[in-house]
Structure 1
Amino acid sequence: MMPRAALSILLLAGMILPIVTAAAPEAIHLPCSRTCGTGMPAKQNLTYPFGFSPGCPIQLNCTEDGDALIGDFLVQSMSPDTVAIAIKAKCDRPFGSIDHLYGRNYAPTAMNSVLLNNCAQTSPCDLPNTQVIQAQFQSLCEPSNKTHTNTSMSCYAEQANNYSTMFLNHTRLFALDCKHFLSSISLVEQNNVSASLGVQLLRLEWWVNGNECECSQDADCVQLSGLPNGGGNGFRCKCRDGFLGDGFLAGTGCRTGSPKRKKEETLKVLTIVLPLMVLFIVSILIMGVVSVIRRKRKFSEVLEDWEREYGPHRFKYKDLYIATKGFRDQELLGAGGFGRVYRGILPTSNIEIAVKKVSHESRQGMREFVAEIISIGRLRHRNLVSLLGYCRRKGELLLVYDYMSNGSLDRYLYNQPRATLNWMQRFRVIKGVASGLLYLHEGWEQVVIHRDIKASNILLDAEFNGRLGDFGLARLHDHGTDPQTTRVAGTVGYLAPEHTRTGKVTRSTDVFAFGAFLLEVACGRRPIEHGDTEDVILVDWVFSCWDRGDILEASDLTLGTESVEEEMELVLKLGLMCSHPDPLMRPTMRQVLQYLEGDLPMPELLSSGISSSRLTFVYSEGLDDLAVSCPSSKGKAFTDLSSVAESLLSGGR
């Protein structure tokens, strides 16, 4: 849709242009084309009846650069009655080329002296400064004519022969039987002492053929008779004083051009147009100021005290708007309950970023927003998604992350058709997330409880390394202190039982979620899968497989035989251990990483008491017992294993 400022400018221009056009002189229509066939406009100021198109009474030739020619001779200038032709001195120019100067509508005037060479007959010629020109002729022509017996220069002029005529007589001129046409000197230059062969002119008189004048009413007509080439009649038109134009009815005619009339028209134009132009300029300035103010409001931001104390780098909203191309749908990476994530490229550094634009309706409010800025903004670990900065604009909350080119892990586990990861890649992701989580629990200046560990919050970089992200629910407390009780929040299927009872989050509740994540990656199944007749809880299903001695039957079938059985068994058993209903029976993240790295032997599940206590998995509020089973190796019927679901008071997503 067209902006209002641009629309206003167009409307104002539409009002002014007709007035300016009405006050301006009437456009001149040119019946003869002044553009060469090459597309170049004529360098000379051509007027009717001269031009390059076939319909012109006097059609000229032209060079590729737009120079007008008569024959092969360059047109120097034009006047209402004559045309000046430049005749460059040339010793070997054929005498017959003079014929090109005799046309249907033009011929050389008697006010020319023609310089010739190697003539059979001579003719007297009143040529001034003969010695100077003769010397130039000798130096120009004799070196190139050593084989010729006659290199004498001759000239021809009508006045020297006492003929009272307007034109050079074509018959007498050719009767001299000359071989070369050297140059010519016009009467205008004949009294010039410095006249030379360098640049000479020959003047042609021109006319339009016809017995009757076809001139405009403000033009005078000059009638000519006894013209060369048949002795026909012709005429020329010339506008009277105070008028401009070519004077011909077929041309532009004559229009008022007196200084007084011009002054009146100029005054009229200024009187009408100048106030409108001033109004136009003032309107543009006002609209420009309004546009700047609106633009500043559009990109205005909010800055509070806590941001100065805690906040990392703050981005300008304008830069993020440009980077994401206005947050258009083509740049959308994903959307969820917490908002929408867009891909962008920073305009100054060309760095790829991911911008999470928290929605106004999101349950993640200012408290969570501040928590994410304070926590992840200062965290630095290779297996954590780096928060580059943030932005606040009115009610909008924006977080800027490193761009993870391979997206989230759940896309490779569940999307159909699935973009699979091999077991080596999955195992590396598991160890990477474990390392990042250990850093949060023990390696930073405070304890960070993530509270939302799951496959969709694990992002993969260009080398498919796993990075834990989305710290919107994170909670911090000092080492050696007890965490504060909070409302139950997280994702169903990853919540520890004690968290739903007490509302307290600890490092052990993160370990429980990590256990569900381990089983999720190894089995390629969600923590809770809804079926037509019954729902399957992943941790109970894996436990039943282990209980029957077939724990590897729970592994992802898409992996085929490429997985390492020892590593797969380790991950499945470790997932069950981390998902133990008793938080005291769960390992720490340091122990988990040691198990995964092989630095600490994995204890038997029986020794932890997991087989006797069974597993209770938090599912949803008010659910009945569910039956789950694991297929035996011989394909027999499933063995039911009931699982009690506890109530959930969560603001999860």
Structure 2
Amino acid sequence: MSKMARSTLLLLAGMVSLIITAGAHEAVPQPCSQTCGTGMPAKQNLTYPFGFSPGCPIQLNCSEDGDALIGEFLVQSVSPDAVVVTIEDKCDRPFGSIDHLYGRNYAPTGKNSVLLNNCTQSSPCDLPTTQVIQDQFQSLCERSNKTNTNTSMSCYSEQANNYSTEFLNRTRLFALDCKYFPSSILMEAQNNVSAPLGVQLLQLEWWVNGDECECSEDADCVQLSGLPNGGGNGFRCKCEHGFLGDGFMAGTGSWRGSPERKKEEMLKVLTIALPLMVLFVVSMLIMGVVSVIRRKRKFAEVLEDWERDYGPHRFKYKDLYIATKGFRDQELLGAGGFGRVYRGILPTSKMEIAVKKVSHESGQGMREFVAEVISIGRLRHRNLVSLLGYCRRKRELLLVYDYMPNGSLDKYLYNQPKVTLNWTQRFRVIKGVASGLLYLHEGWEQVVIHRDIKASNILLDAELNGRLGDFGLARLHDHGTDPQTTRVAGTVGYLAPEHTRTGKATRSTDMFAFGAFLLEVACGRRPIEHGDTEDVILVDWVSSCWDRGDILEASDLTLGAESVEEEMELVLKLGLMCSHPDPLMRPSMRQVLQYLEGDLLMPELLSSGISSSGLTFVYSEGLDDLAVSCPSSTGKAFTDLSSVAESLLSGER
């Protein structure tokens, strides 16, 4: 549908709406709302000017049950002349609560008499049965007196003081300096001795402020002057006999209420509005169909042959869009070279997820995407972030993972974080990641080379267990076969030297990155830190600490005395072993896990400078006199003794 057609439909809809509004009497919403609480009309069936919105001249309060209130007092009824509220008996009601009955548009009339308690000043009261009523109320208060309230009752009324005012004078009333306001009595009930004191009534006169009447044509106006609360003028409107409505021009006005007239108006409205309403509904249906078609196009997805076998793991783009609230920035968990990751809640299961929206500019194309979905999606281990599924839409690639509430490990290590991990937690994370890597290298149906092991790719679950994630660079090959040469990929500082030369990713290159990760966690420093004059290589710095005879000097200072020295020393030495420049001298993942679990003793190591200089291993179990060194000057590491070293490190990897 063209833009012109849509504009025409919108214009037609607007015209229909205006005509219907003109034909129907009550189609225009009033600025004063009479709905209360949950949106239903108040129980008192109020009309203008009473209501519950700022547009109402007399704005009332509302209880949870839909009752209209003035202050704490329930509105009993509203008439064109007065408002009647109920005053339940309450011996310890503070006298100040009577002030709620004096509003900008209402005040108690002089027909009321109020019962008071603990007054410092006395005033006559014209109740003919004053003593009887006071005795009743005093007896009631004494039975329910839980606060030792003094029950010295008194009363106030205007007529007893020979005042002829229309309203109960607030100034004189407050001058009595009373402590409690237990109840009130209307003039109509004063001679009724048996009237129940539990619930009494109090009458308020109301008005709308203004010097001129603003009443409808068929309504009478009552003008008032000298009003309380600062004086001033006001008015009330009342529909003439035979008319219905509130009588106010700002309200519903007045209209003749005969059944014949009502039928004529209704027939007129239907005759004019019904055809237009049908046209309006048809127009809305057409626009709805257009909207559905556009929405389907918006959420259209691509489905190829290879995806048919993995359909159950495919998410609908619409569900992911709703889960992440339209991929808005407030749900962003992080961003990297491979795209942005958003937090989401699936609309049906309410499950928390993390959605990686692969960047078009990243090097991760369809080949990597397919590999991660088909192969990595079947990996299941407690220390791996589970890939729950995927979605494709046009050129967008989306991966859905388990949500890790505690984020990535790196934020707990660097830049003086507010929340750090103690050594026990760090050591558990290290062992967890080692267990996950062993599963990738040896425990699955194929060998999985992760190629991007680092602290920022280690995510922490709710119990702070480490889980290895982001398999976007992962490569797979069958057990017993050699990995294929690929382009160099990974993060500087975690790349093994031979990987940058040959482009071949192996389990040994993963071990190098894992060694950098071990030093990263133990030292709380990045593998490469850029300085003003030169860069600091973490493995060289740890090796220098070892050369000085205090390898524990390299441990993270924020840990203080929390770390276990034996475990810290073990992790630091393992980090150096795994980061050895010669891949043949690195231990396997199985050996590392055995060292960490204490199932295999670490060989004694003597440092003559690590990284480019070399590393010497001294094995005391049966080979005390054997030392293996790797001089740096030749640029060739362990060529003659590689097989011996391999056997000493317990065989196959």
* Matched residue SS, 2:330: helix
Compute the displacement of 1:363 (Å): 1.7
Compute the displacement of 1:615 (Å): 5.6
> Would you say the 8 A contact 1:5–1:287 is kept in 2?
no
Cα distance 1:311–1:505, how it changes in 2: closer, same or farther (>3 A)? farther
Compute the displacement of 1:256 (Å): 13
Compute the displacement of 1:351 (Å): 1.3
Compute the displacement of 1:566 (Å): 0.9
Compute the displacement of 1:536 (Å): 0.3
Q: Say which of 269, 274, 287 aligns to 2:272.
A: 269
- Structure 2 distance, partners of 1:251, 1:570, is 92
Amino acid at match of 2:287: M
Cα distance 1:40–1:19, how it changes in 2: closer, same or farther (>3 A)? closer
Deviation string 1:292-315 (CA, Å, 9 cap, x unpaired) is: 111111111111122223576111
- Structure 1 distance, partners of 2:509, 2:312, is 28
- Structure 2 distance, partners of 1:340, 1:497, is 30
Match of 1:432 in 2: 432
- 1:114-153 mapped onto 2 (5 Å cutoff): none
Match of 2:486 in 1: 486
> Would you say the 8 A contact 1:36–1:66 is kept in 2?
no
Match of 1:534 in 2: 534
Match of 2:568 in 1: 568
Compute the displacement of 1:266 (Å): 7.3
Deviates more, 1:378-387 or 1:542-551: 542-551
Deviation string 1:253-286 (CA, Å, 9 cap, x unpaired) is: 899979999899579637xx62x43432222111
Structure 1 length normalisation: TM-score?
A: 0.57
Match of 1:323 in 2: 323
> Would you say the 8 A contact 1:446–1:479 is kept in 2?
yes
- 1:45-194 mapped onto 2 (5 Å cutoff): none
Compute the displacement of 1:370 (Å): 1.3
* Matched residue SS, 1:303: coil
Compute the displacement of 1:374 (Å): 2.3
Structure 2 length normalisation: TM-score?
A: 0.57
| Same amino acid, percent of matched pairs | 80
- 1:291-310 mapped onto 2 (5 Å cutoff): 291-309=291-309
Cα distance 1:387–1:605, how it changes in 2: closer, same or farther (>3 A)? same
Compute the displacement of 1:415 (Å): 3.5
- Structure 2 distance, partners of 1:461, 1:373, is 22
Deviation string 1:212-267 (CA, Å, 9 cap, x unpaired) is: xxxx9xxxxxxxxxxxxxxxxxxx9999xxxxxxxxxx986899979999899579
2:519 maps to 1:509: no
* Matched residue SS, 1:388: strand
- Structure 2 distance, partners of 1:37, 1:446, is 72
Deviates more, 1:290-299 or 1:476-485: 290-299
Compute the displacement of 1:562 (Å): 1.1
> Would you say the 8 A contact 2:540–2:610 is kept in 1?
no
2:351 maps to 1:351: yes
Compute the displacement of 1:643 (Å): 12
- Structure 1 distance, partners of 2:241, 2:491, is 97
- Structure 1 distance, partners of 2:348, 2:478, is 39
Amino acid at match of 1:269: I
- Structure 2 distance, partners of 1:36, 1:582, is 84
* Matched residue SS, 2:313: coil
Cα distance 1:256–1:524, how it changes in 2: closer, same or farther (>3 A)? closer
* Matched residue SS, 2:379: coil
> Would you say the 8 A contact 1:540–1:615 is kept in 2?
no
* Matched residue SS, 2:378: coil
2:317 maps to 1:314: no
* Matched residue SS, 1:452: coil
Higher Rg: 1
Amino acid at match of 1:541: W
- Structure 2 distance, partners of 1:529, 1:433, is 24
> Would you say the 8 A contact 1:323–1:345 is kept in 2?
yes
Compute the displacement of 1:365 (Å): 1.0
> Would you say the 8 A contact 1:438–1:589 is kept in 2?
yes
2:453 maps to 1:453: yes
- 1:25-64 mapped onto 2 (5 Å cutoff): 39=45
Cα distance 1:576–1:40, how it changes in 2: closer, same or farther (>3 A)? closer
- Structure 2 distance, partners of 1:601, 1:256, is 102
2:363 maps to 1:363: yes
Deviation string 1:123-165 (CA, Å, 9 cap, x unpaired) is: xxxxxxxxxxxxxxxxxxxxxxxxxxxxxxxxxxxxxxxxxxx
> Would you say the 8 A contact 1:424–1:563 is kept in 2?
yes
Compute the displacement of 1:571 (Å): 0.7
Match of 2:340 in 1: 340
- Structure 2 distance, partners of 1:550, 1:451, is 32
Deviation string 1:587-630 (CA, Å, 9 cap, x unpaired) is: 100111111111111112349x87596269xxxxxxxxxxxxxx
Amino acid at match of 2:316: K
> Would you say the 8 A contact 2:13–2:283 is kept in 1?
no
- Structure 2 distance, partners of 1:260, 1:578, is 93
> Would you say the 8 A contact 1:409–1:457 is kept in 2?
yes
* Matched residue SS, 1:471: coil
> Would you say the 8 A contact 2:331–2:343 is kept in 1?
yes
Amino acid at match of 2:530: H
Amino acid at match of 2:613: R
Deviation string 1:38-76 (CA, Å, 9 cap, x unpaired) is: 5458xxxxxxxxxxxxxxxxxxxxx968999xxxxxxxx
Match of 1:402 in 2: 402
- Structure 2 distance, partners of 1:508, 1:335, is 28
Match of 1:605 in 2: 605
Amino acid at match of 2:283: S
Compute the displacement of 1:18 (Å): 3.8
User: How many residues get paired?
Assistant: 414
Match of 2:613 in 1: 614
2:580 maps to 1:580: yes
Cα distance 1:284–1:588, how it changes in 2: closer, same or farther (>3 A)? same
Compute the displacement of 1:409 (Å): 0.4
Amino acid at match of 2:309: E
- Structure 2 distance, partners of 1:237, 1:555, is 94
Cα distance 1:544–1:283, how it changes in 2: closer, same or farther (>3 A)? same
- Structure 2 distance, partners of 1:420, 1:260, is 77
Match of 1:178 in 2: none
Q: What's the RMSD between the two structures over aligned residues?
A: 4.2
Cα distance 1:532–1:264, how it changes in 2: closer, same or farther (>3 A)? closer
> Would you say the 8 A contact 1:312–1:388 is kept in 2?
no
2:557 maps to 1:554: no
- Structure 2 distance, partners of 1:251, 1:563, is 85
Deviates more, 1:493-502 or 1:542-551: 542-551
* Matched residue SS, 1:285: helix
- Structure 1 distance, partners of 2:397, 2:501, is 32
Compute the displacement of 1:580 (Å): 0.7
- Structure 1 distance, partners of 2:599, 2:14, is 82
* Matched residue SS, 1:605: strand
Compute the displacement of 1:328 (Å): 1.3
Cα distance 1:5–1:595, how it changes in 2: closer, same or farther (>3 A)? farther
> Would you say the 8 A contact 1:311–1:373 is kept in 2?
no
Cα distance 1:336–1:258, how it changes in 2: closer, same or farther (>3 A)? closer
- Structure 2 distance, partners of 1:36, 1:461, is 50
Cα distance 1:442–1:8, how it changes in 2: closer, same or farther (>3 A)? farther
What are structure 2's unaligned runs of at least 5 residues? 28-40, 48-74, 81-217, 219-239, 244-252, 616-631, 636-653
- Structure 2 distance, partners of 1:320, 1:480, is 40
Deviates more, 1:468-477 or 1:328-337: 328-337
Amino acid at match of 1:468: L
> Would you say the 8 A contact 1:436–1:468 is kept in 2?
yes
Cα distance 1:434–1:65, how it changes in 2: closer, same or farther (>3 A)? same
Compute the displacement of 1:436 (Å): 0.5
Cα distance 1:615–1:408, how it changes in 2: closer, same or farther (>3 A)? farther
> Would you say the 8 A contact 2:579–2:611 is kept in 1?
no
Match of 2:383 in 1: 383
Deviation string 1:537-577 (CA, Å, 9 cap, x unpaired) is: 00111111112212111111111111111111111111111
